[in-house]
Structure 1
Amino acid sequence: MAKDLVCGMYVDEDKTPFKLKRGDVTYYFCSKNCLNTFLAPERELHQLKILAAMALILGGLTAFFEYIYPVNWPLHNYLLLFILATPVQFIAGWKFYEGTWDAIKARQANMDSLIAIGTTTAWLYSTLYMLQTLNLVPSIFPRIATGGPEVYFTEAGLIIGFVLLGRVMEQIVKGKATEAVRKLVDLQPKMATVLRDGEEKKIPVEQVVVGELLVVRPGERVPVDGVVIDGHSYIDQSMITGESMPVEKKVGDEVIGGTINMSGVLKIRATKVGADTMLSQIVKMVEEAILTRAPMQRLADRVAAYFVPIVIVVAISSFIFWYLIAGKPLGIALMSLISVLIIACPCALGIATPAAIMIGASKSAQHGILIKSGEYLEKLSKIDLIVFDKTGTLTKGEPRVTDILALDGFAENDVIELALTLESGSRHPLSEAVRKLASSRGINTPRTIDAFEEVPGHGLRASIDGRRVLLGNLRLMKSSGLNIDEYIIERLKLLEEDGKTAILLGFDNRVVGIIAFSDTINENAAEVIDRLKWMGIKVALLTGDNSRAANAIARKLGIDLVFAEVLPTDKACIVRRLREEGKVVAMVGDGINDAPALAEADVGIAIGSGTDIARETGGIILVKNDLRDIIVAVYLSRKVVRKMKENLFWAFIYNVVLIPVAAGILYSLGIMFNPVFAAVAMATSSITVTLNSMLLNRFKPNTKQH
């Protein structure tokens, strides 16, 4: 069953006719009211405010003339109360009737059913009692002789007023939650300047196509995602990534649609347009996060689904007990029935977790942290082990060649030329380091390769001019039958103990060179790991590097658990093994290269994905390449889950404690719940939950203090 995004009810996708498809996501609703609320929140909120004000004002006047200053001229008091209460019942309260009718069509009860049944019972009884008092109909109900109220027009009106007030508060919190998403949508410029036939033309941004050239001047927003092909500038990306300072952009750099060009003129080539842009993907991701259910919601969903029919049975049973078994006056039995129906309305239960998730998901998006679903948000709060991939995560992923050792009569440039030849088609960071070194030495004519084979996790094999050439780790050399003497082993050990990654160059049956690389440790890595350990989270390092180099990095960063020499295909197995040991595991890595391990983890965290967030496997995506966002994400998840628990407590406590009171369990002590107080308690429950969730808007990331 799906979640009604508006009221939080549990909806059967096959039964409800109220659904909406937006992009790849289908939303399901329990009633037409909820569908309209989703489509036009501002209009719905304005209407709700008017109806709530009308109900409370007329309900207040009804209470005044019923309890404080009854009048019998020029109209009978009951007739005056009827005139004041009826517009509330059928104008302000019409939405509850629509919701009830929709529930009947969908063959499942909803929250509106309880309000409609309870207030209609009060209004109908009061109307018939008024008519028989005025001798307009035969006497149906016995006259109240106990001194209590004879009619319940006030109760019917104020119940609707307070329920509507609670819904106003709910809509306000939902508006706050989606405000950040709406602001993101508004960032998309309406027009773009394109270069067509050598001339600049202004066109609607929807008409821009992939590959088209665009001009972005200072002060303008970048229309779509693209790559800079000419110019130099600084871009304000704060509204997308949360970065406080403008980011330098030069030829070859990515730019994000909706960001602001601060200085120079840029010429960009469009790479993503329409629904494929990062802006559209963020909006879609936040909407999906709001839509999905966290595990904690499942209990609330099940309770809400069965709660309404059970409450109706309890209310009717209460009425039967007091009127037919206990022989109490009809008014007392009616008060019990109406009070149970009203106070048991599970509005707060329905919004307890979605309200917190909505604000949490939108708040995280403001800081460049995209959470795919409430399930990941909840799991992240429980993690006790974070596994980091090394290259490009704990290190910058920009290795440089530090040492070249030429052996067996080969010169350094010979080693570089052969390595360049084998690495010519690879996108691995080490390959890029070799190309940079070759370029700096003027070596740019790699030899022709006769045959080529990539050995995953080991290296490369090739045939050049009929000679066998290998480039890779020690395991590749040994498995290929090359002679490895003690001198080579000793040099490898020294390089690796210094934290360097070393690869060997094999030629025919011998090793002719060693190339060592060093990758710069991320400047925030030590701070983040220290902070995570302070938060009670263990940290592990997972890498394909040799154990000596991996342990050298781990010692510098204070990491105790190291998994080294792990093949790419085995990374997921390591994560699975850790989970089988009972740990709640988060994996941090490149969302594309480390996809299997991210998918295997309880929470996959993809970092530094740029504009290509749609390809990411991780349940949580860090748009910026900033490890400190992991701390922000964990902190926020813990705050959101704490709010979810608090909300569920308040929602359950109101219902569990007050339903027996409403049913009359304290009647022997002279306490009988008035339906108005039931409405106030129910509205207070919803308001408590929404206000508590809104406190998340005050969240500010703090990664510095212990």
Structure 2
Amino acid sequence: MKRTFDVTGMTCAACSSRVEKATAGVAGVDGVAVNLLKNSMEVEYDGSDAVAAAISAAVENAGYGAFLRPEPGQAGAAAHAARPVNDAAAEAKRVKVRLIVSFCFTIPLFYLSMGHMMGWPLPDIFLGHENMLTFAFTQFLLLLPVIFVNFKFFRVGFKTLAHGAPNMDSLIALGSAASTIYGIAAIYRIGWGMGHGDVDFAHAAAMDLYFESAAMILTLITLGKYFEARAKGKTTDAITKLMDLTPKEATRRGSDGSEQRVPVEQVRVGDVLVVKAGEGVPVDGVVLEGEGVVDESVITGESVPVGKRPGDTVTGATVNTTGWFAMRADRVGADTTLAGIIRLVDEATSTKAPIEKIADKIAGVFVPVVICIAVAAFILWMALSGDVSTALTHAISVLVISCPCALGLATPTAIMVGTGRGATSGILIKSAEALEVAHDVKTVVFDKTGTLTTGKPAVTDVVCAAGVDASALASLARSVEQRSEHPLAQAVVAWADGAGAQLQPVDAFEQVPGGGVRATVGGAAALAGNAQLMGQHGIDVSAFESRAHQLADKGKTPLYFASAGRALGMIAVADTVKSTSAAAIAELSAMGIRTVMLTGDNERTARAIGASVGVDEVIAGVLPEGKEREVRHLSAQGRVAMVGDGINDAPALARADVGIAIGAGTDIAIDSGDVVLMRSDVLDVPAAIQLSRSTLRNIKQNLFWALIYNTVCIPVAAGLFSFAGFTLNPMIAAAAMSCSSVCVVSNALRLRGWKPAFTTQAAQQVLAKRKEAQHNEAVADASAPELDTVGTDAGEPAEQEIIMEKKLTVEGMMCQHCVAHVKKALEGVEGVSEAVVDLDAGTAVAKLTADVADDVLTAAVVDAGYEVKGIE
């Protein structure tokens, strides 16, 4: 089984490499993946307490801590689920305090140590040869608080060094400790010089203290850690917002009809819940009574609300925009769809992409190599210059400029943001490996039924015999087919029912295997079925023969209807192609990806469907085990993604390099897939591949920056270019090191703005239709009457004069829940009559009845968890 451990003490890639090595060495561990960003690791073992204890002990012996995380349903599991979010926020606050204290003492220390060189005025107590000891000792006292608040670097750094596994903290600790010790030695030299009357010796020592370097190293590294912690917090925004979607309370109906507000944790399977307009659906279930229009964008990414009636399923965390309904709770707690999405995203961000293994191998030897380079630089410069100060400067610069952090954060930050962005777009990626592999897919294989087609047959063409009215044909079709359970018969009944056809008395109903049905309708013998059935009963259908061939060539199934020995007409039924299928195929072709349709249907129907959507190749008449074989054969020509929705697709999904499951499909297909498309839209297939390409491009950029940074900066810090007059002092080296990590994380955060970039005309037409549907929905909502009005004493609606409007640009809104939060926050401000929030534009217009300061509006939005980028 696979269990999650929370790991403490990790600060860089060298740490995660050491923890992974220590865990992998425990007997009984089959696999381990350490995530530096989330301070956790996934371990595969037999689940025994003895092995778990051995893992914790091995990690502790390596200089870190490891604690088994509770499983879902255990006490404390809910709290642990939010740890990536809470840890990032808490760490940012802790680092902020350290940073403030560090700056409070580093600034006067820097002024005191460097001010005289720049002509800045200093108090007399620090001037003159007789005050050199005061000058030096005061700097030492200013350094002590900086060391104290940042002692974590020394504690962790020297601890891991003692365990033979030095990390980034070891480099910082060695560099700042060397500066501090050298400065303390200088104080003794000053004292010796003054005591022996050698003023020049004492003065030289006073000019070479290095205390400001030690303080500045710690302060600048802490500054970088603060920015890094804040940026890390933003990488978990997607999970944070997913966690915040579920309503905290639900309205439960008692057996006596009474309603009671209860915490959502108290809802049990079978409870009847009431959901009013504007409220979120607490859990997954089925509508029992009433009707509503539900916004499911938080789950499916589809912004157009869906009408819900009795018998329809509803999903927890979606929003009932209008109407009222009562529902039965079917899945609660960890079993809900949203909980599953959060779990999938969390698991995906805990896995490692193959490309990350390269960084891990480098990180495993990085710090020891850097220490060796620093020692070599010190020895070399001592030999060349004979000056301890020069040699120490280069050695310390090498230690503090080296950045294993950037190397360790390059991949997990991009994966965290990429999978989170995918989840908010209705694309669930179940592993980092799938996210990486998808970028290199050469062929996409589609199942037909339920994937490229709707999976539900529908009437497409109706042909009446000469002299036969369409209503007569519809009446016969509805009457004779209503007792059949065949999917084609049900499609005909649905069409006839929609046409308002009248039912006739039916007797002697009988199904004919392989042919159709026969019965007595309105006192006359009636038939419904294929041409073979008609021929067996002497019914002439030659008048329809030409049209029947045309329809069959298009993948449609012609059904004949006869009464009293005469053919009344022909109705064609087909599994209709999804509106986005052709656009998805066109987009994949534009991306240079070959498309194949794989189906068990007959050759004629398959080729008709294939031609209508534009696939490059059609493989028909394939059984489930044959699908797996065909995918394996195609994999030999390049990486293959398989898209399917049914049980029969599961073997092929598992065999493909990337299995993409349609969300509306079966649980088995979803479990077999590496990627799940929550809104069952095949246009999300090219979107998923685009997301993979964008994420991998981001990872490569991060790794390139991390590697090139260290490749260039370490030789410079070691003094390789000193002959050209180009050197680095430790303070600049520390600033560069901090900048490196911040750059990597900030680059990964650019993925938060990712959107699919569809270039083909077919795809753009689909998007245009979606926008039009959204606009129509918005217009309908705007024209809907208000449910609640506040009247004056005279019974007239109360009106308040709007004196101005302020438009806020809000960052961080991702769904209709966010819109509701921002709207509620602004309307809670005194003087704000109404707030109109636009999710797509990322704006909120506050209508004011009084002058409200910008900072008040900003504070309200920030308190709700979002950022205000500007106010107009």
Bucket of the pairwise TM-score, normalised by the shorter protein: 0.7 to 0.9
Deviation at 1:96, TM superposition (A): 1.4
Distance 1:347 1:431, change over 3 A: farther
The one-letter code matched in structure 2 to 1:46 is K
1:18 equivalent in structure 2 = 66
Distance 1:252 1:11, change over 3 A: closer
Deviation at 1:418, TM superposition (A): 12
Distance 1:327 1:500, change over 3 A: same
1:483 equivalent in structure 2 = none
2:623 equivalent in structure 1 = 567
2:636 equivalent in structure 1 = 580
Measure the CA separation in 2 of the matches of 1:120 and 1:500: 80
Q: Which runs of 5+ in 1 are unaligned?
A: 27-34, 406-411, 453-458, 461-471, 474-486, 505-513
Out of 163, 185, 210, the position equivalent to 1:128 is: 185
Residue 109 in structure 1 maps to residue 109 in structure 2: no
Deviation at 1:551, TM superposition (A): 0.9
Structure scoring higher RCO (CA < 8 A, sep ≥ 6) equals 1
Measure the CA separation in 1 of the matches of 2:317 and 2:393: 57
Aligned length: 647
Measure the CA separation in 2 of the matches of 1:501 and 1:107: 74
Contact in 1 for aligned 2:645/2:669 (Cα 8 Å): no
Deviation at 1:688, TM superposition (A): 1.6
Residue 624 in structure 1 maps to residue 676 in structure 2: no
The one-letter code matched in structure 1 to 2:268 is V
Residue 270 in structure 1 maps to residue 270 in structure 2: no
The one-letter code matched in structure 1 to 2:589 is K
Out of 273, 285, 291, the position equivalent to 1:214 is: 273
Distance 1:116 1:447, change over 3 A: farther
1:154 equivalent in structure 2 = 212
Contact in 2 for aligned 1:258/1:279 (Cα 8 Å): yes
Measure the CA separation in 1 of the matches of 2:178 and 2:508: 89
1:94 equivalent in structure 2 = 151
Out of 699, 706, 712, the position equivalent to 1:644 is: 699
What is the TM-score of this pair, normalised by structure 2?
0.66
2:468 equivalent in structure 1 = none
Distance 1:7 1:674, change over 3 A: farther
Contact in 2 for aligned 1:384/1:584 (Cα 8 Å): yes
Q: Which runs of 5+ in 2 are unaligned?
A: 1-19, 21-31, 44-54, 60-64, 75-81, 117-121, 464-473, 516-528, 531-541, 561-569, 762-872
| 1:300 counterpart SS class | helix
Measure the CA separation in 1 of the matches of 2:588 and 2:703: 28
| 2:322 counterpart SS class | coil
Deviation at 1:334, TM superposition (A): 1.5
Residue 557 in structure 1 maps to residue 613 in structure 2: yes
1:172 equivalent in structure 2 = 230
Distance 1:75 1:332, change over 3 A: closer
1:45 equivalent in structure 2 = 92
Out of 330, 342, 362, the position equivalent to 1:303 is: 362
Q: How does 1:328-347 map to 2 (within 5 A)?
A: 328-347=386-405
Measure the CA separation in 2 of the matches of 1:363 and 1:401: 39
Measure the CA separation in 2 of the matches of 1:43 and 1:353: 23
Out of 215, 219, 239, the position equivalent to 1:181 is: 239
| 2:355 counterpart SS class | helix
Deviation at 1:180, TM superposition (A): 2.3
Deviation at 1:654, TM superposition (A): 0.9
Measure the CA separation in 1 of the matches of 2:371 and 2:40: 18
Measure the CA separation in 2 of the matches of 1:596 and 1:443: 47
Distance 1:167 1:435, change over 3 A: farther
What is the TM-score of this pair, normalised by structure 1?
0.81
CA deviation string 1:91-112 (max 9, x = no partner): 1x22213433663687633222
Q: Which moved more, 1:292-301 or 1:304-313?
A: 304-313
1:532 equivalent in structure 2 = 588
Out of 186, 189, 198, the position equivalent to 2:256 is: 198
CA deviation string 1:120-149 (max 9, x = no partner): 12112212322332349999xx96999995
The one-letter code matched in structure 2 to 1:254 is T
1:599 equivalent in structure 2 = 654
Q: Which moved more, 1:632-641 or 1:270-279?
A: 632-641
Measure the CA separation in 1 of the matches of 2:507 and 2:221: 78
Q: Which moved more, 1:39-48 or 1:566-575?
A: 39-48
Measure the CA separation in 2 of the matches of 1:12 and 1:396: 39
Contact in 2 for aligned 1:591/1:618 (Cα 8 Å): no
Measure the CA separation in 1 of the matches of 2:386 and 2:646: 68
Contact in 1 for aligned 2:646/2:666 (Cα 8 Å): no
Deviation at 1:579, TM superposition (A): 0.6
Residue 360 in structure 1 maps to residue 418 in structure 2: yes
Deviation at 1:612, TM superposition (A): 6.0
CA RMSD of aligned residues (A): 4.2
Distance 1:219 1:354, change over 3 A: same
Deviation at 1:314, TM superposition (A): 2.1
2:555 equivalent in structure 1 = 499
Measure the CA separation in 1 of the matches of 2:666 and 2:248: 20
CA deviation string 1:516-543 (max 9, x = no partner): 7401111111122112111211111111
The one-letter code matched in structure 2 to 1:534 is A
Distance 1:258 1:8, change over 3 A: closer
Measure the CA separation in 2 of the matches of 1:444 and 1:266: 38
Distance 1:443 1:597, change over 3 A: farther
Residue 238 in structure 1 maps to residue 300 in structure 2: no
Contact in 2 for aligned 1:372/1:619 (Cα 8 Å): yes
The one-letter code matched in structure 2 to 1:672 is T
Deviation at 1:275, TM superposition (A): 0.7
| 2:555 counterpart SS class | coil
Measure the CA separation in 2 of the matches of 1:494 and 1:400: 17
Measure the CA separation in 2 of the matches of 1:685 and 1:550: 55
| 1:218 counterpart SS class | coil
Out of 727, 730, 734, the position equivalent to 1:675 is: 730
Contact in 1 for aligned 2:644/2:669 (Cα 8 Å): no
CA deviation string 1:371-407 (max 9, x = no partner): 11221111222212111111111111111367999xx
Measure the CA separation in 2 of the matches of 1:149 and 1:620: 63
Contact in 1 for aligned 2:645/2:661 (Cα 8 Å): yes
Out of 416, 421, 435, the position equivalent to 1:377 is: 435
Distance 1:148 1:205, change over 3 A: same
Contact in 2 for aligned 1:144/1:150 (Cα 8 Å): no
Residue 66 in structure 1 maps to residue 135 in structure 2: no
Deviation at 1:24, TM superposition (A): 6.5
Q: Which moved more, 1:588-597 or 1:350-359?
A: 588-597
CA deviation string 1:254-307 (max 9, x = no partner): 211111111221111112110111111111111122211111111111111221
Distance 1:161 1:130, change over 3 A: same
Distance 1:604 1:12, change over 3 A: closer
Q: How does 1:471-482 map to 2 (within 5 A)?
A: none
Contact in 1 for aligned 2:374/2:396 (Cα 8 Å): yes
Deviation at 1:552, TM superposition (A): 0.9
Deviation at 1:185, TM superposition (A): 1.1
CA deviation string 1:132-186 (max 9, x = no partner): 32349999xx969999951211211111122222222222222212122212211
2:831 equivalent in structure 1 = none
Distance 1:246 1:492, change over 3 A: closer
Deviation at 1:222, TM superposition (A): 0.7
Contact in 1 for aligned 2:662/2:670 (Cα 8 Å): no
The one-letter code matched in structure 2 to 1:119 is S
Contact in 1 for aligned 2:477/2:496 (Cα 8 Å): no
| 1:18 counterpart SS class | strand
1:468 equivalent in structure 2 = none
Measure the CA separation in 2 of the matches of 1:210 and 1:252: 17
Residue 316 in structure 1 maps to residue 375 in structure 2: yes
Deviation at 1:591, TM superposition (A): 6.1
| 1:313 counterpart SS class | helix
Measure the CA separation in 2 of the matches of 1:445 and 1:368: 50
